[in-house]
A = this chain, B = another copy of it.
Amino acid sequence: MYTLHIANKNYSSWSLRPWLLLRERNIAFSEQLTPFSSDARHPTSELYRHFSPSGRVPCLIDGGATVWDSLAIVEYLAERHPGVWPVDGTARAWARCVCAEMHSGFSALRTLHTMNCGLRVRVAERPPALVADIARIEDIWNEGLARFGGPFLAGAEFSAADAFFAPVAFRFQTYGVIIAAPAEDYLRRLMALPGMRAWEAAALVEPWRIPSHENDALRTGELHADLRTHVTAA
């Protein structure tokens, strides 16, 4: 059975991708969560290097094999399990394009709308680069739904493409990003997936608050709700 190393569910957008893929494709795995370090003397990369060569998560362990990086994990799983990518060649090529684009791009979204599942933040104004990132995501979603017929991004079944855009759904929820149908309907479907519900529920009860991650979110706008239920010391 696979072991998937992940970080905090409230914060780790990269961890969510393969976790959700495994879960929605019904591939058995055990989860190993190592929280981000908030101790500068022991940085996160140092903790993670014990199991992940890059010092980052996610990292998949399959017996003697160590597979790090969310996109490499996807391709590793795709060689072993049906449905990770669409069967149709055109849909598969498209799905890989949008995953690879997400993997290396969208730096404004990544920096300015960091994942923090439990928070709700009011954003007064978005810089052009962020507006462009959001518009590009809407375009990608609408294109996939139109070309491959939905209800998922690359056709009838949940694939790695959906898993790769799942963190975006939490970002949009936290920062109140408004998009139009049909992309909006897709967003709702994504949020309703059992895996997404389970991830969010777990994120909300986590006890850890990492100052740098909290500050990234609070810098973005005005906090109007914190849905996390674990009471922390001030």
Contacts and interface: CB of A to CB of B under 8 A. Distances in A.
A56 B89 CA distance: 23
Interface stretch (A99-107, A206-214, A219-227): A99-107
Interface residues of A, number: 27
Contacts of A79: 89
Interface in A45-93: 53-54, 56, 65, 67-72, 75-76, 79, 89-90, 93
Contacts of A67: 93, 96-97
A72 B99 contact: yes
Contacts of A126: none
Nearest to A70: B100
A103 B99 CA distance: 11
Given A53-B143, A72-B100, A103-B103, 12 more contacts: A54-B101, A67-B97, A68-B101, A69-B100, A69-B104, A70-B100, A71-B71, A71-B100, A71-B103, A71-B104, A72-B93, A75-B75
